[in-house]
Every structure is written in C-alpha cells, then in structure tokens.
C-alpha cells in the first residue's frame, strides 16, 4: 500500500507585498518557508521551523545613484526616496524607486544653492527644503515637485534668519522651522511657512525652550515637541563651554503657544540623539554630551506629561549620529558612531513590551555616520554617509534596504501528494 503524505502550502503576503511560499509536511519532518523577494531579487531565504519572522538586507543599486555624500537630506514620497544636496557641496539629487531598484536624477534648474545642515519635509506633493549653509548660513529654500521634476523658490520675506542644524516638521499645511545656529549663537526662534500662500509667519518666543541646536523635533498631529540639544555656537561635538539639555517644550501652531515638558524621569542631557513619534508617544534614544555616548532613552507621553525610561537590556551599544524610523509598531535604528568607531549594527525597539531585538548584520551596509534613513511602509532604506575619521571623511554612495517579514499570519492550504 502506498504511503500518502499531506503537504501544506504556506502562503504569506508580506508587508512589502512580496510573496512568502513554503511547504510544511504534516509529519515529523521540519517545516520550512521560502521568502521570495520579487523578480529583481529572486533569491530565497530559508526560515526554519519555529521562526516567526524573517529579516533581510538588500543592497541599493549604485547605477545612476547620486554622487557620494553626507549631510544630505532624504524624504519618502509614498513611492520613492528623494536625496538632495550634502557634502561635498552639490545642488544635485535623485529619486530612488525601490520597486525597480533604480535611480532617476533630479533637475538642477532653479534648484536652491548648494548646502549642508539644511532640513527637508514632504508635503504630500512636494519636497520643501530650507536653510543650511555652504561657507555662509542661508535663509533660502525651495519646493521640488517630483511629478514635474521642477523647482520653485521660497519667499525670503519674514523668513527666519540664516541658520543651520535647526529642525523642521510638517503639520499637514505648514512647515515649522525652529532653533539652529549661525556659528555665532544658537536660536530660540523660528517661523511657519505656508506653501499655498508662499508666506512666513513668526513663532512666539514666549515660554519657548532656550536657544539650541542639534535638538530633535517631532509632530504629533497637533503639536511640535522639541527636546534636547546643545547651545554651543558651532554645535560641534565636544565644543568647549557647550551646555547640553534634558528639557524641551510643546508648540501649538493654532494658538502660537509653548508649553514646557517635565524633566522628571527624562533622559540625561544630550544632543545627536534620535526621536520618533509613535502616534501616542515620542521615543528618544542614544546621543551624547560631548564626553560620552549613551545607550539609554525614554518615552514621552504628552497627554499626561510623563517620561517612561526604556529598558537597557539587549539595547545597542552607546552611540550618536545614528538614524531611527518608526514602522507603525517598532522603532528601527541603525548605524552611527559608538566608543569603538563607526557601527554597522542596529536594533528594533518594541514600546508595547519594552524590549530590544538586534537587527541582522548579514548583507547590511558598511559602517557609517551622517547617513539618512526613511521608512517606506515596508522597508527601511539607508543611504550615503561617511566612514572616514579625517577630511574629507570618505563619503559614501551606497545603501541598503532592511525588511522584516512576520510569519505569524500564514495561510495553510492543504495539498495531497502521492509518494512524496
């Protein structure tokens, strides 16, 4: 009598819409799953029995990529990543499409002047860049439309004073610029820019945080939260006489008012940290105070004005200059510099259960700092940065795409096979 074995075809639709296909025999044989990365990446990853997630790095093509650079900006449009400016000084940029692994150059016609330390935001239809410097600090900017590949200048009437190392958030209708430095002093002021009317409106300084740069800012949906930073005029790491901050404030553009944030249980004073908004909390992690780097952080809840420390169990090594993105359920952080040098490591932090999980380093980009990271809805894309310790610091034009696939919601379709 022939033996019949029931085989289960395992199909999973991943977050990146790639197909996870596997076969699990209804016997004592180990189950396994194959993760197919798509036509451009036909290789498969094997997930042993008991594995609930599969993570991977895929390199970003360098064909037609922008020139090697750092101190550039990157934003996600919903379908592509826009890279612009940076050092070595340039007015060039490009659009990266992860679905085809291709780069398309951006026009330089009417583009803003070359710069570093500027900010950029995505409005839903345009990229707005502002400020920064290249020899001198700038109070200029531009709006880029990727659909038409065109640049439009931003008015300078009532714009903030020239500055670098400031922050910018998009509210849904305006960009808010705050803080920064002109290498003579730091600022406690800023302004709101409305692209529909091409106008600037100043922000009140009443109850604003003290002047600072290299701080972070997030948008909650109704407020901008500013936290941390330093007041060294040049904002260079370890600047003599600089003070570091463990305080901040919430700004409401509707009423043009500031409200202080409690410092109870807040992280220690720092700059070059990261901050992400989860939908209900701001998560701050890492950074340094000029003397050392940190491997700690905290979550801030603005509804009750409280901080909750993050666990340091399995946390990454202390570092600054890393990047962080929010996936919708976890904070992904990668790269930067720790006490031993540039890092190629990263981790996932889950605020629901207060746990850290390291990211795989297999096929990860090379160690670096001053790179950029965006979240696409299914992948984290790392690009650019540098890995040198002396001028010009060896700028990079490489990157990688990190994805993690959950195998929890697999669909099992029974198949019957003879003599399997």
pLDDT at 416 over 50: no
74 lies in a domain?
A: no
Q: Which residue has the tokens 């992280």?
A: 267
Please give the average per-residue pLDDT across 44-58, as a whole number.
Answer: 68
**CA–CA dist 65, 40 (Å, integer):** 17
Please state the pTM of the whole predicted model: 0.87
* Band of pLDDT at residue 221, cut at 50, 70 and 90: very high
* pLDDT of 260 over the 60 cut: yes
The top-scoring range by mean pLDDT among 8-17, 40-49, 278-287 is 278-287
- How much of the chain exceeds pLDDT 90, in percent? 79
Query: CA 330, 332, 338, 344 torsion: positive or negative?
Result: positive
Its domain, for residue 35, covers 4-56+407-418
- Rounded mean pLDDT of the chain? 88
Closest-CA residue to 57 (of 408, 413, 394, 381): 381
Is 27 domain-assigned?
yes
In a domain, 15, yes or no: yes
In a domain, 333, yes or no: no
pLDDT digits (tens, 9 = 90+) for 53-63: 789 999 999 99
- Does 8 map to a domain? yes
Domain count, the chain: 1
User: pLDDT value at position 256?
Assistant: 98
Question: Which whole-number Å values give the CA distances from 104 to 60, 93, 292, in the listed order?
Answer: 13, 9, 40
Judge whether 326 lies within some domain.
no
Q: Residue 420: what pLDDT?
A: 34
* For residue 83, pLDDT beyond 70: yes
Q: Do the Cβ atoms of 359 and 334 come closer than 8 Å?
A: yes
Q: Would 14 be classed as within a structural domain?
A: yes
Q: How far apart are CA 286 and CA 293, in angstroms?
A: 7
What is the per-residue pLDDT for 48? 54
Residue 16 lies inside a defined structural domain of this protein: yes
CA 179 to each of CA 76, 154, 320: distance values in angstroms, whole numbers, following the listed order: 24, 19, 20
| Digit-coded pLDDT (tens) for 204-217 | 999 999 999 999 99
């Amino acid at each position: 009598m022939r033996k019949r074995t029931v085989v289960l075809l395992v199909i999973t639709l991943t977050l990146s819409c790639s197909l996870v296909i596997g076969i699990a025999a209804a016997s004592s044989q180990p189950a396994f799953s194959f993760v197919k990365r798509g036509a451009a990446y036909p290789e498969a990853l094997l997930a042993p029995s008991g594995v609930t997630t599969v993570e991977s790095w895929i390199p970003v093509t360098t064909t037609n990529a922008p020139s090697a650079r750092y101190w550039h900006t990157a934003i996600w449009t919903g379908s592509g990543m826009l890279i612009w400016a940076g050092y070595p000084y340039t007015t060039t940029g490009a659009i990266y499409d992860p679905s085809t692994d291709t780069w398309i150059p951006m026009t330089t016609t009417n583009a803003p002047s070359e710069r570093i330390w500027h900010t950029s935001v995505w409005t839903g239809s345009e990229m707005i860049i502002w400020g920064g410097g290249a020899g001198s600090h700038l109070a200029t900017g531009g709006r880029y439309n990727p659909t038409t590949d065109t640049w439009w200048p931003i008015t300078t009437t009532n714009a903030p004073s020239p500055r670098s190392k400031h922050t910018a958030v998009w509210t849904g209708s305006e960009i808010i610029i705050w803080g920064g430095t002109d290498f003579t002093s730091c600022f406690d002021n800023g302004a709101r820019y409305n692209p529909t009317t091409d106008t600037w409106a100043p922000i009140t300084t009443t109850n604003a945080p003290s002047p600072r740069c290299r701080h972070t800012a997030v948008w909650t949906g109704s407020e901008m939260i500013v936290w941390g930073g330093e007041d060294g005029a040049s904002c260079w790491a370890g600047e003599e006489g600089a003070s570091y901050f463990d305080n901040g404030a919430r700004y409401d553009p509707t009423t043009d008012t500031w409200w202080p944030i409690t410092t109870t249980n807040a992280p220690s004073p720092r700059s070059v940290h990261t901050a992400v908004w989860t939908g209900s909390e701001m998560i701050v992690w890492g950074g340094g105070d000029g003397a050392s780097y940190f491997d700690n952080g905290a979550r801030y809840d603005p509804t009750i004005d409280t901080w909750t420390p993050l666990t340091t169990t399995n946390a990454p090594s202390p570092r600054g200059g890393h990047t962080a993105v929010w996936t919708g359920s976890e904070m992904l952080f990668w790269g930067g510099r720790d006490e031993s040098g540039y890092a190629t490591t990263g981790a996932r932090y889950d605020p629901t259960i207060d746990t850290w999980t390291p990211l795989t380093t297999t096929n990860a980009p090379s160690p670096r700092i001053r790179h950029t990271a965006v979240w696409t809805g299914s992948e984290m894309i790392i690009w650019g940065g540098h890995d040198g310790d002396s001028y010009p610091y060896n700028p990079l034009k490489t990157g990688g795409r990190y994805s993690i696939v959950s195998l929890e919601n697999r669909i099992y379709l029974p198949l019957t096979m003879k003599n399997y």
